[in-house]
Structure 1
Amino acid sequence: MKRLGRADDLWSNNSVFTYVQLTPQATLAQANQNIKQVSIKHGGTKNEIFLHSFPDWWLYSKFENGQLAGGRIEMVELFTIIAVFILLIACINFMNLSTARSEKRAKEVGVRKVVGAPRYVLIAQFLTESIILASLAGILSIGIVLLCLPAFSKLIGSSLAVDFGSPSLWLYLLGIILFTGILAGSYPAFFLSGFQPLKVLKSNFANFNHAINPRKALVVIQFTIAIILMISTLVIRQQIEHAQNRLNGYDKNNLIYVFLSGDITKNFPLIKNELINEDVAISITRSLSPVTSIWSNGMIDWEGKTSDDTHTFDSLNIDEGAVNTLGLELIEGRDLDLLKFPTDSNAALITESAQLAMGMEDPIGKNIRDEGQNWHIVGVVKDVIMGSPFEKIRPVVMYGASSWFSVMHIKLNANLPAQAAVEKTKQIFKKYNPNEPFYNFIDEEYNAKFTDTHRLGKIAGLFTFLTIFISCLGLFGLAAYMAENRRQEIGVRKVLGASVFSLVNLLNREFIILVAIACLLAFPIAY
């Protein structure tokens, strides 16, 4: 940092990450206890600091007020819950079909009870049958997983593999098979084993088709889950569209950025002049980071700040011409202009949210203090979304030319074809900075922010399709079995002149009512 000219003594400056390797004897809790007051003690800031285990960053990366508030783990938990629901729906199908076939197995149960079979033996038999079916399904599922794994890896953007040599994998699989078999077979086992031999053997078995019964309740439950997932998928899609259409405070079109690497820094004036003189670019500015990223934040001081204020502000160092180049919208004041106002090297722009956080009614001309120096506010711009478009807008302060820069933003001439403008720009950069990486489009960087959410939407859609498909499959099996049992009734009705439509209506009426009830339950839950 010293070599780059960016070193300072400010404990409130969060422009760089700090990595700590603990000794083998140390624990994270001990380390955090020892360092939490260091920033307050040495720098007079209001915030404690703490370390976060590096392997945890991937899944646990979201914090609020110093407390862990989630991250990618939320997506993992979400799909785990959905997977459990899908498994539950499959189990419900098994329960429903088993109890629907109860009449055909009633005499078997009656005979077994007459010859002395206790109820627990019958329960064990039915559970064993269920576990055997679950085991066959488990073997089949392994083959399906291997076939689908390449496509699923492509969908989630990460290469997946099954470690068949892992003992824990087989333990988990065995546990899932046993759990599924017992769950799916539990209700039919207790239901079938409860038949009374005398009534069954006298053919006095009442059909399990009362107005309210557990089978109908299970159908309602599975379709309630399916409808909730369907609504949730639609909401995710709407949320993506909302975030994409959200005003981000800058103009992405024809805007590229280049890192100030190699000889670009020393040749910046020459590159800037040639790009503008050749009509390749209409405006150019430098900044600390791309406008799509937050590289620094921290606490600042301003006139009228109270002692208990702990607001943190995102910061973006900018050069003159930032408003025109980035397409920022001025609300009051002006852009930085070093030619007209040499003191603008220590000027700053703030966003609406920053003005609100500071409680300034008339901020133009007032001073703020950060990075060890005073900055005078010359303009207020509309809020800028530099971080995630799915999160709330954060206050941003933009510091002038006496701060350091890492990026060069170029607003290409819209009158030139994009490819031609890029090629001309590329030639000019090669002239002053050969053999260095070139450019990135801001609109592509911004669209990349939606990659994870688009992936979430696709996976949720896939899971929802599976849920609806499995639910309808179970309902189809149930309806087909009931129609088979009512074959004689259907024949008599047709002889008496019943139309196909009236028969379809007769068979479907019960299921339509159940799905309607599921909708009434699902809508408020999804809401």
Structure 2
Amino acid sequence: MLTNYIKIAFRNLQKNKGFTAINIIGLAIGMASSFLIMLWAYNQISYDRIYKKTDQLYVVGNKGILDGITRVYFSTPKPFGPAASGAFPEIASISRLEFSKNFLMTVGDKKLKPGNGAFVDQSFIEMFELPLLSGDKTTILKSPSEIVLTEKLAKSIFGSTDVLGKMIRIDSTEMLSVSGVLKDIPSNSRFRNHNYFLSWKFLEKIGWSDQNWGNNSTQTFIELNEGVNFIDFQNKIKGFYQQHGDTKNEVYLQAISQSWLYNKFENGIAIGGRVDLVIIFLSIAGIILLIACINFMNLSTAQSEKRAKEVGVRKVVGATKSSLITQFLVEALIMSFIASFIAVILLLIILPYFNDLIGTQLSFNLKSPYLWISIFLFSLFTGVLAGSYPAFFLSSFKPTRILKGGLQKIAGGMSARKILVVFQFTMAIVFILISIIAAKQIQHGLHRESGFDKEKLIYINDDGDLKKNYSKIKKELLDQGIATSVSRSKSPITENWSGNIMEWEGKPIDNTTQFNRISTDEDFITTFGLTLITGRDFDLQKFPTDSSAMILNESAAKEMNFNDPIGQIVHDEGRDWHIIGVIKDYIQESPFGSITPMVIEGAYGWSAFTNIRFHPQLPTQEALKKTEEIFKKYNPDYPFEFKFVDEAYAQKFEETKTLGLLANLFTGLTIFISCLGLFGLSAYMAENRTKEIGIRKVLGASILSVTNLLSKEFIYLILISCVVAFPIAYWLMDKFLSKFDYKTNISWNIFFITGLSAIFIAFLSVSYQSIKAALANPVNSLRDE
């Protein structure tokens, strides 16, 4: 029986090749899009859930009041780990993680910068059970002179992974032995960008560790013993910070399996975050698939008149309704499985480009039986979803009415198709509006005044001997006319690496504002092209006491509420800083956020970057070449690596741009699939009304009037879609923009332009078939076969 169903199904599909192709293409694109989104969603949902002990692992954070709001941040003091490990028997293991700088690694004559790495405790590898290609996880990183490499880095340095015991020179000062090689870390792990791991004892050896309980700068992870009640332990450990320092903050633990998805907190409670984005995109996947299925339903029911007599004859000769439903579902399932095969091919083609777009490495194993089972179930679900309505609709025809020469239920079917078309284009219009407002928001941020001059400005990490030879490098850059100004800083101007609660005379007791802070030597304002409101720039030549001087931004000056800030004293980290100037606010963090109060501290603060503003008359390439010569002269062992500030600032928009590109991509797919359905429906309507069009033309109807006749019904449906879509889109856009402090407005012309665009797109979709029918020779259309 099933074989018979399949044979008949293939005959019907071959008989209507055009509609079959449209159905399969629409389903394939919808399925490929859904596959792609679900693959990304799985990557997000499985993030940090890949460790064998995931259910026992927690990230340690701080929970306290800052800026009058209860906040949570996941950094701890360095001494927290060892202290907590000895104080709580519930802890099975504990490890700290401190990001390392981009060390220079030397093996023989080969020198390279390996990228991201970290200092960790010996327990780290075993805690997370990162897969080792070689090495003993129980003893690895026990010594300060050990290093663990990823497979990729080992091959890059040595050309092989058989490297245990081989030596690597770090920054021309320390020799480290390779004690382990890790398999490359999966893209759904928080450690995915780490290329090597160093012992925490090495951090202590080079003097980068401290016992300061007020310095929250380290990530700490806890593994609890099996059977420990998390809530009880959380209550037990929460006051541990207060026992060791002058703080009211509490220890806050979050399951590592939740920390990626639930990264947004409100008054100290996790309320969502990335999980919201996952839900949004899974909803988009469902909508795209549903739109593809609606195309199938519309085209299948549109052919009801052709299939009506078939149904009538089958029923007369004894076919049951269930057997007819099965027949139509088999046809739908065959198309669904063909579409899924095409979708997998499409996915293989577009996945590398999609990975480049979103900056991650999604993949799937074609050899995995679970993958093919999932594809089979997905295809089965899609086929049933797409074919169920046409199957029940077509099988419900009454044979007596059909065989008497009329199909009375067409009107009802057409009504249902109208509703489905309206739904399709409602979603398409909503997506168009979201894409437009996302693009407008990005442009709004791009055109926001940054507050500093980004042109011809670079920064360089102070590696090797740069710090020691800084004054000589600066002198040569200025004397040769390469640079107009040179300055050092704790972090790049486009990033905030540090913050603290300041103290000053007259500060309200309940003020818990945290200030961003950066430090410099001199010429900070000049180098970065900032706007001075009052006071002066740092100048250690004229004013040696500027080492303990401070400059405020506008927001900090308002927060401290000094009548005249110049000369006032601010206390930070046990030191008094005297204010010498106030600058106009500049964007250090998100260009879509409000400006945070910030202080710029003098040379007593530490610095890690050299910032160079090139002479405006000197071509940039020539300036870079001359700068490299000077740096090579004073720091010969290290490559000359720099970054343009304007490029660093542009990266602030990358995540928002990526989301905008994804929105555009899925909007385009939605429109394409919807228009594919309109094209098929218009073709069928034109075919069904061939004789009517012929008669109209014989009676003098123009090509334009015939085209309008076939197009206007769809235009009305698009207008209805606009009426439904506009309030939905407005609500969604308003909710989206509410997340930004600096945001664009939603203007009426966006809706007007979108409505016209939707009508134009729909008209293009149906116009070909309409014009084709209008141009047909009426003699041919009226000939009685």
Aligned to 2:471: 269
Partner of 1:310: 512
Report what 2:486 is aligned to: 284
1:271 and 1:314 map into 2 onto residues whose CA distance is 29
Aligned residues of 1:103 and 1:207 also touching (Cα < 8 A):
no
Q: CA deviation at 1:132?
A: 2.2
If each structure's strand is expressed as a fraction of its own residues, which one has the higher value? 2
From 674, 678, 681, give the equivalent of 1:471.
Answer: 674
Cα distance in 1, alignment partners of residues 211 and 485 from structure 2: 35
Distance 2:233 2:489 in 1: 35
- CA shift, 1:444, in A, is 1.8
The alpha carbon displacement at 1:51 in A equals 4.8
For 2:476 and 2:265, how far apart are their aligned partners in 1?
A: 45
Of the structure 1 ranges 409-418 and 204-213, higher mean CA displacement relative to structure 2 is found in 204-213
Amino acid at match of 1:20: F
- Which whole-Å CA distance do the structure 1 matches of 2:559 and 2:230 have between them? 34
Q: Deviations over 1:437-456 (max 9, x none)?
A: 33222112222333333333
1:127-138 correspondence runs (5 A) = 127-138=329-340
Instruction: Give the stretch that moved more between structures: 388-397 or 151-160.
Output: 151-160
Answering whether residue 658 of structure 2 is matched by residue 462 of structure 1, we say no
Is 1:18 aligned to 2:219, yes or no?
yes
**Aligned with residue 416 of structure 2, among 214, 232, 257:** 214
Whole-Å Cα distance in 2 between the matches of residues 380 and 11 of structure 1?
A: 31
Distance between the aligned counterparts of 1:281 and 1:9, measured in 2?
A: 41
Aligned equivalents of 2:442, 2:342: Cα separation in 1: 36
1:190 aligns with 2:361: no
Secondary structure class of the residue paired with 1:388: coil
Contact 2:301 2:413 in 1 (8 A): no
Shift of 1:37: 3.1
**How many pairs does the alignment contain?**
526
Shift in Å, 1:61: 5.0
The worse-fitting range, judged by mean Cα deviation, of 205-214 and 139-148 is 205-214
Match of 2:710 in 1: 507
| 1:332 equivalent in structure 2 | 534
Q: Within 2, Cα distance between the matches of 1:185 and 1:334? A: 75
Q: TM-score, normalised by structure 1?
A: 0.90
Task: Quote the Cα distance in structure 1 between the aligned partners of 2:496 and 2:587.
Answer: 10
- 1:163-188 per-residue CA deviation (whole Å, 9 max, x = no partner) reads 12333322332232122112112222
Quote the Cα distance in structure 1 between the aligned partners of 2:310 and 2:560.
80
The corresponding residue for 1:496 is 699
From 432, 442, 454, give the equivalent of 1:252. 454
Q: Which residue of 2 aligns with 1:443?
A: 646
CA-to-partner distance for each residue in 1:398-435, whole Å, 9 max, x for gaps? 22211111111111111211112122222222222112
Using the TM superposition, give the Cα deviation of residue 155 of structure 1 relative to its aligned residue in structure 2, in angstroms: 3.5
Question: In structure 1, how many angstroms separate the alpha carbons of the residues matched to 2:586 and 2:255?
Answer: 31
Q: Are the counterparts in 1 of residues 522 and 602 from structure 2 also a CA contact under 8 Å?
A: yes
Aligned pair partner of 1:177 in 375, 379, 383: 379
Which AA in structure 2 matches 1:501? Answer: L
Secondary structure of 1:18 counterpart? strand
Percent of aligned pairs with the same residue?
50
2:508 maps to 1:298: no
Q: What residue is the counterpart of 1:486 in the other structure? A: 689
| Structure 2 counterparts to residues 217-256 of structure 1, below 5 A | 217-256=419-458
Once residues 266 and 519 of structure 2 are traced to their aligned partners in structure 1, the CA distance between those partners, rounded to angstroms, is 25
TM-score, normalised via structure 2 length: 0.62
- Secondary structure of 1:290's match? coil
**Equivalent runs, 1:48-63 vs 2, <5 Å:** 48-51=250-253, 63=265
Aligned pair 1:396/2:598, yes or no? yes
Q: Cα–Cα, structure 1 residues 436 and 27, in superposed 2: closer, same or farther, change >3 Å?
A: farther
Query: Which of residues 291, 301, 307 is equivalent to 1:105?
Result: 307
Q: What are structure 1's unaligned runs of at least 5 residues?
A: none
After superposition, what is the alpha-carbon deviation per residue over 1:138-163, rounded to whole angstroms, capped at 9, x for unaligned?
12212222233333334444444321
SS in 1 for 2:488: strand
In 1, the alpha carbon distance for the partners of 2:712 and 2:240 equals 71
Counterpart pick for 1:149 among 347, 351, 355: 351
Tell me: CA distance 1:62–1:386, structure 2 relative to 1, closer, same or farther (3 Å). Answer: farther
Q: Deviations over 1:189-246 (max 9, x none)?
A: 2222332333223234225236982210110110111111122222222222222222
1:286, 1:430 → 2: CA distance? 19
Q: Where does residue 519 of structure 1 map in the other structure?
A: 722
How much does 1:383 deviate? 2.0
* CA spacing shift, 1:383–1:32, aligned 2, 3 Å: farther
1:514 Cα deviation from its structure 2 partner: 0.5
**Aligned mates of 2:389, 2:426 — CA distance in 1:** 20
Alignment of 1:140 onto 2:327: no
| CA–CA distance in structure 2, aligned partners of residues 98 and 303 of structure 1 | 78
Residue of structure 2 equivalent to 1:88: 290
Deviates more, 1:68-77 or 1:318-327: 68-77
State how far apart, in whole Å, the 1-side matches of 2:505 and 2:542 are. Answer: 26
Unaligned 5+ residue runs, structure 2?
A: 1-202, 731-785
Partner of 1:408: 610
Where 2:460 maps in the other structure, the secondary structure is: strand
Alpha carbons of 1:47 and 1:362: their partners in 2 closer, same or farther (altered >3 Å)? farther
Conservation of the 8 A alpha-carbon contact between 1:6 and 1:404: no
CA distance in 2, matches of 1:445, 1:49: 34
